[in-house]
Amino acid sequence: MDLLLQVLINGILQGGLYAIVALGLALVWGVLNIVNLSHGAFIMLGAYISWYSFQWLHLDPFVGLPLTAVLMFIVGYAVQRGILNLIVRSPMFNTLLITFGLEVVITYLAQLVFSADFRTINPSYSGHNITALGVTIPVVRLAACVMAIVLTLAMWYFLLHTRLGRAIRATAQNLSAARLYGVEPRHLYAVTFGLGLALAGAAGGLYGTVSQINPYIGATLTAKSFAISIIGGLDTPLGVIAGGLILGLIEALTALYIGPTFADVASFGVLVLVLIVRPTGLLGRTA
Amino acid sequence: MKTWRLPLIAVVLVALALLPWYGSDTMIQFGISTLLLAVLAQGWNIIGGYTGYPSFGNSVFYGLGAYGVGIAMVQWQLPFAVGMVFGVVLAVVFAFLLGIPVLRLKGHYFAIATLALAQIMAAIVSNVPLAGQNIGLVLPPLNNDRMFYELALVLLVAATLTVWWLTRSRFGFGLIAIRENEEGAVVMGVDTTRYKVLAFALAGVFSALAGGIQAYWITFLDPGSAFDITLNVKMIIMAVFGGPGTILGPIVGSFILSAISELLSSEVTSIAGLFFGIVIVVAVVLMPRGLADVVRRFHRLGWRYFVDNIRTNRI
Amino acid sequence: MHTLFRHGLPCAAVALALGLGSGASEAAGNEIVLGASVQLTGPVANTGRYYNDAYKLAVDQINRKGGVTVGGKKYTLALKIYDNQSDVNLSVRQYTQLVSQDKVNFLLGPFASNFALADSAVSEKYQIPMVQGGGASDQIFSRGFKYVFGTLAPASDYFSSTIKMFKQLKPQPAKVALLYADDAFDVSVAKGTRPLLKDAGIEPVLDERYSSNASDFNTLLSQIKSKEADAVLVAGHETEILNFIRQAKSLNVSPKLYSFTVGVPSEDFRKALGKDAEYAFGMTAWLPSETLKDDWFGDAAQFAKSWGAQYRYEPDYHAASGVADVEALVKAIEKAGTLDPKAVRDALAASDFQSLYGHIKFADNGQIHLDQTVIQVQNGKPAAVFDGDKFLVQAKYPMPDWSKR
């Protein structure tokens, strides 16, 4: 078995999952210019929804993704319409603060309601794997990775080639002009944020099958989403695929060649480097 | 400056300084925590409030200060004062080395970069054997809350005097110019890079000193506690709630928010966090320019002040 | 006017806080209050809860059997427990609060070495004895602190019986992988395990430290597979080990033997893994045997029965250790004949009695010494396999491939 090849495959599988983790954040940030520091907390909520669907309704986590997505969409619409719409035109700093505040509130409520114990979603096929080319590929990770890429491509298509997608992009680029065309911005912003959270929810459901769920995973997931969005670039949803793969590979290779405790240093290090050297990201158009 | 302001401040100061003699043990401990948080808020005020660069990573200076004291006292058996100096040196070096590239970023990119830097430091420190890696360090126990309290109070006074000096010095005007219109400031001949880095370093110095005091007082530090992300939130919301870009705003903000948080804590320990979150959301929507601004304009506008805030900022 | 308001605010805040502080609670007349900050929620709450339950059961039983007699006067025991949410910093603040605001008489410890390491600084600072049964790391006891005592056997010893067992297994494990989390306990375990392996003539093929609460072991498992390790020793936390075993299954990694410092003795852990828990090795310094006699519970077997009846789950060595802490304090208080912290501390240092947990006697550094018995999950239950010298039952070795289970 080729160790390097196995580690690279591990990294790629993780990277695919990372893409969907970041997608919701990148969408809302790139299109609405809302930097959502509570993104990870919503992923965590989505994971819990999937967990409960699995426990109570015996819904397979992959099959149950649409349910989680719809529920989170409603939450997102409400949050944007009720809270975030109120500060859209104030300095960016306020968005950062308010979403940070949301993160704190959601995490504490989750801890109160769900308790701090760890949970996992374990469908019957969770230990299965495929062996190919001397490499072992866990089935669940592969499925999550594929699903992630599918969703990202779907979002890319939606934004660029559908009417609603174009309306969303138009509103974000020029509010007054969009209004002249009959767009209701408050509704559209809420729809977009709802989409962002729906994606976060889906990411949560996938994440829960591969890793553990507890109320505190939000902060790390938000941090990774930032890294991925910036590394990949916010100009296109496809950026998260590039960013996710790079992050997944960096973490796997760092763990192999330097040590497992250095993974965070590597991922944040790359984030800062990209910010300093090429802030628009790998797939971004240079300003 | 109105004539009765100064005596009032003096009275408050004396009352605070004498607290260890008439307050209970718990009060003194609450006092130390609050004073240190106020120092952090005041430090943030320099880079975030006056210069307009909202740093979400000042916890990195706090952590460096804490580790400076920790390493000096535990690994090298040096006295506390030396540890504090060492912590400050670490913070200043960091501010210059990493401040220069990072301060080129604007707005929220700067915020994210500072947040990432704080995470990197925490991750690096958890791998450094000298710092005790992820286990952290246990400092020699010292049971002298009175001393820590007075130290924290002195530090807060120093920080506040620095901010006051800023408001009437050329350096301070330069910072405000950067905040209001950076390109204009460059055109007017302000060396923006130097000023920004100096402001960053100044904020770092106070944060590091606060971290050093905390480390020795709590007797224990590890990467998680020293580089705690929630500290950033706390110091920012305290400064913003009280009034960023004012001299006493951050102090008022931290005293009030800490007092309420402590009240809630003694009932249910976890509610304090929830409370902060809600305060942030409410404050940002209703009073984004802080209590100072509310106080200034409320008696003219009444409740319409809050409605106006929302109306100007929403879509 | 508004500036008066503005400056009045800090004064008001101070006054408000003044009102808070004055209500310090004092212990009732003939009550001895034991204080602790325990992990009731958070990542390690699964084990932290054992201590909460242990302290409660012990205090109830001791009170039922007549309480504590100090200098001719009868006292009842009372508990004051805070939830530190698995946050070390919060636990330090809570212990400070227990001592300075709640004014408890003595302290019981938290679970986990990193907590005990930090919290014992508080007991040392205020010179109030703390008996803790949750921290085994050598670091806790190498600082020359006088006020902390520990009822967990030293971390460095945890794998010693397991490695002695290697010699008697056929085929003897030759390639060993050592993995450990980066917290106080697990680092201590690894530090102690290396010389033990060296003495047994084994050079580890993998010796890696990983971040606490890590959830991704894919790279480490891939390395274990590629180096064809026979035995894997993991010093970590329950949730990490759960992840490890699950990922081992999905990456098809099955060494001949794997042994973990936590998890195997605990019912939750075996239930969470179901069939996948089979064949896992662990260790325990305590088994619910009738030979361990106790003044309040009769013997360890009876204790296990009372525990099960009260809490509906089986106790493990953490539970017994927690009970032993309370018993040690009570015995020391009665021996000292006073509630003075210093006198009780001296009595604790001289402890020497039999309990359901074993022989309670602290070494000069404050830590107990007990031998570890190797256990293995066999048919869903933990079986005592090797006692350091000989096999008690046959070990299920080597572990079959995942596909063949």
List the structure tokens of C48. 């932290």
- Is B277 in contact with A262 (Cβ distance < 8 A)? no
Mean pLDDT of chain B: 89
Residue boundaries of the structural domains of chain A:
19-219
Q: Which of C304, C309, C317 is nearest to C358 (CA)?
A: C317
pLDDT of residue C23: 40
Task: Give, in degrees to the nearest 5, the angle at Cα C119 between C116 and C121.
Answer: 110
SS3 C31: strand
C24 pLDDT tier (thresholds 50, 70, 90): very low
Any chains having at least 3 CB pairs less than 8 A from chain C are A, B
Q: Which is more confidently placed, B312 or C324? A: C324
C5 pLDDT tier (thresholds 50, 70, 90): very low
Q: What is the pTM of this model?
A: 0.87
Least confident of A172-176, B101-105, B232-236: A172-176
- Are B83 and B212 within 8 A, CB to CB? yes
pLDDT of residue C19: 44
- Is B8 in contact with C139 (Cβ distance < 8 A)? no
Q: Which chain B residue has its CA at the smallest distance from A86's CA?
A: B314
- Is B134 in contact with A219 (Cβ distance < 8 A)? no
Report the distance separating Cα A188 and Cα A65, nearest Å: 23
pLDDT of residue B262: 76
pLDDT of residue B267: 53
C144 pLDDT tier (thresholds 50, 70, 90): confident
For chain B, list the strands marked E by DSSP: 137-138, 220-221
B273 touches A: beta carbon within 8 Å: yes
What are the phi and psi torsion angles at C235 (to 5°)? Answer: -105, 110
pLDDT of residue A242: 92
Report the distance separating Cα B131 and Cα B76, nearest Å: 11
> What distance lies between CA C342 and its chain's CA centroid?
25
Which domains does chain B carry? 5-313 (1.10.3470)
Q: Which is more confidently placed, C2 or B313? A: B313
Question: Residue C201 has what DSSP assignment?
Answer: T
pLDDT of C87 above 50: yes
Q: Which of A2, A270, A229, A273 is nearest to A132 (CA)?
A: A2
Q: How far C219 CA lies from chain A's nearest CA (Å)?
A: 6
pLDDT digits (tens, 9 = 90+) for B200-232: 999 999 999 999 999 999 888 889 889 988 888
Q: Which chain C residue has its CA at the smallest distance from A141's CA?
A: C250
pLDDT of residue C116: 93
pLDDT of residue C34: 96
pLDDT digits (tens, 9 = 90+) for B74-96: 999 999 999 999 999 999 999 99
- Are A221 and A47 within 8 A, CB to CB? no
Q: Which is more confidently placed, C136 or B2? A: C136
H-type helices in C41-141, by residue range?
Answer: 45-64, 88-100, 113-126
pLDDT of residue A214: 86
Residue reference for tokens 């158009």: A285
Mean pLDDT of chain C: 89
C4 pLDDT tier (thresholds 50, 70, 90): very low
Report the distance separating Cα C235 and Cα C231, nearest Å: 13
> Who's near B241: CB < 8 A, 6+ residues apart?
B253, B256, B257, B279, B283, B287, B290, B291
**Of the partner residues C218, C249, C252, the one whose CB lies closest to the CB of residue A10:** C218
Q: Which chain C residue has its CA at the smallest distance from A112's CA?
A: C41
C3 pLDDT tier (thresholds 50, 70, 90): very low
B268 pLDDT tier (thresholds 50, 70, 90): low
pLDDT digits (tens, 9 = 90+) for B42-65: 999 999 999 999 999 999 999 999
Residue reference for tokens 């030293």: C154
Residue reference for tokens 């609450």: B30
- B61 CB-contact burial (10 Å; exposed 0-12 / middle 13-18 / buried 19+): buried
Report the distance separating Cα C14 and Cα B256, nearest Å: 9
Residues 275-314 on C with a CB inside 8 Å of B are: none
pLDDT of residue C26: 45
In this structure, how many other beta carbons lie within 10 angstroms of the beta carbon of residue B267? Answer: 8
- Are C120 and C147 within 8 A, CB to CB? yes
H-type helices in A33-116, by residue range?
Answer: 39-56, 65-82, 92-114
pLDDT of C22 above 50: no
Q: Which chain C residue has its CA at the smallest distance from A257's CA?
A: C219
Question: Residue A241 has what DSSP assignment?
Answer: H
pLDDT digits (tens, 9 = 90+) for B131-159: 988 888 888 888 888 999 999 999 999 99
pLDDT of C15 above 70: no
Provide the sign of the torsion angle of the four alpha carbons B35, B37, B39, B42, taken in this order.
Answer: negative
Q: Which is more confidently placed, C99 or B311? A: C99
For chain A, list residues with pLDDT below 50.
Answer: 287
- Is C7 in contact with B224 (Cβ distance < 8 A)? no
C214 touches B: beta carbon within 8 Å: no
pLDDT digits (tens, 9 = 90+) for C225-249: 999 999 999 999 888 998 899 999 9
- Is C183 in contact with B135 (Cβ distance < 8 A)? yes
Q: What is the ipTM of this complex?
A: 0.86
- pLDDT above 90 coverage of chain C, percent: 72
